[in-house]
Structures are given as C-alpha cells and as structure tokens.
Amino acid sequence: MDRVIGAVSTRLLVSLSGVTAGTLDRAAALSAELVSRGVPLSLLVAPRVAGADQPGAVRAWLAGRLAAGDALLLHGYDHAPPPGWRRRAEFATLPAHEAGLRLTAAGAALERLGLVADGFVPPRWLVSPGTLTALRAKGFRLCADATGVRDLRTGTVYKGRTQGFGVAERAEPWRCLAVVMATARTARRGGLVRLAADTADLARPGPRQALLDAVDVALGLGATGQVYPDLLTARSARAA
C-alpha cells in the first residue's frame, strides 16, 4: 500500500518539456532566469521527439544542463496515443506489457542521445497502473503524475498538484493568474510547489512571465528550489 506524504517543508519543483533543437533558445533563456534565482530545472525529455532533428545540439545542451545541476526525467517515447485512443495520452491507459515495450524503446532512444534517466513523467501527467508496474520492473526510481510524486521503490507518494498552462488563448490570462495564486497558497502552507512549463508556453509572454512570477512568489515565501530526484534523496538521507 502506498504511503502518502503531505506538507513537510516548502519545496519548489520547476519542470520543462518540449525541448528540441528548434526550442533550445527558449529553454536556455528560462534556464538562465532560474539559475539567477538559484532554482534548478527538471528537464522532461521524450527522446523520439527531442532527437528527431539535430540530435547533437539537443544532446550537448542537455549534457551541459545536467552538469550544472539540473535533472533529466523520461517523458514518454514519442507521445503517440495508444491504438484506438486518439485523445488519450501515451501512457494513460497502457497495460504493463505494452508500457514495458514503449519504455524499452524510449530507453534505447535516450541512450542514443548519450543520456540515461531513472525518473519518469508521463505525457500530460497521466499514468496507468500497468505503466507503474512496468516502471518498477525496469528499475525506475520515481514517477510523477498530475497529483503527486511516487517513490517506486517504497510506495511513498509526495502529494502536490502540478500547475501549468496549456490552455486556449482566450483563457490564458485567467490561467496565468490561477497558477500564481495556487503557488502562493501552496507555499504559504508549506506544501510541495510543482510548476510545469512546455517550451511552447515560453513563446508567449503571458505564461512565461506568470511562470517566473510564480517562482518568485514561492521563493519569497520560503520555498527551496529542487529537482524531482531530490525528494527521494532527501528522504534517504533522513532515513540514514
């Protein structure tokens, strides 16, 4: 049975997906903003997407960010929905066997980029029970979904809802405000603040500024910037 962990101290996790050769400039600009604030990035990489064009450029940039203290998490394989489920996310409905096959292919594609990952974030933050089984079988340490971060070795779940954008343009101002306000509420009660951005969001001034505003609000309320694997590392250190 999973053990659910609520608020312990205010931790800030910022993730970025959609990194490709064509979006490296946006990713680098966000990274620089966060470095100036002392906040590392959790980079969510779908290898079939990230390495589709100019894989050398993507590889070099990711390697540099990992050396600087950011973290890499596998973000699916190619984001293609399961057969017969056009509107479903890639790992949202898969049984264990099919999830395992996709994870194997994703791991091989990631290795071709010269990278490895033992943490997983499913596309659209939606994960099936079968995928969790496959992740454990393949030795993954953590899986983060829409509502929390799961330690796959112990079953511990760190509660915290992901705050992101990805809305229609007409709803964008409301969503930007909602992200900042939700961040403030979570940080005030000492919870786990999880901010998620895609490089497509960074092309629009509203979401980009709202993300930075949310980071500043969390830091101002005492949050500490971390990457996803830090949650497990900190727990292991306390247990030792």
Express each pLDDT in 77-90 by its tens digit. 888 766 655 567 89
Q: How do residues 94-126 score in pLDDT, each as one tens digit?
A: 999 999 999 999 999 999 889 999 999 999 999
pLDDT bin (cut points 50, 70, 90) of residue 4 is low
Residue 50 phi, psi (nearest 5): -65, -35
Mean pLDDT, residues 143-154: 97
The more confident residue out of 65 and 3 is: 65
Q: What is the mean pLDDT of the chain?
A: 90
Number of residues that this document lists for the chain: 240
Are residues 227 and 13 in contact, defined by beta-carbon separation less than 8 angstroms? yes
Distance of CA 191 to the CA centre of its chain: 17
Q: What is the DSSP string of 79-119?
A: -PPPTT-TTS-TTSS--HHHHHHHHHHHHHHHHHTT---SE
User: What pLDDT, on the 0 to 100 scale, is given for residue 54?
Assistant: 80
pTM for this structure?
0.91
- Select the CATH number that applies to the domain covering 3-239 from these four: 3.40.50.300, 3.40.640.10, 3.20.20.370, 3.40.50.10860: 3.20.20.370
Q: How do residues 184-220 score in pLDDT, each as one tens digit?
A: 999 999 999 999 999 999 999 999 999 999 999 999 9
Domain boundaries, the chain: 3-239
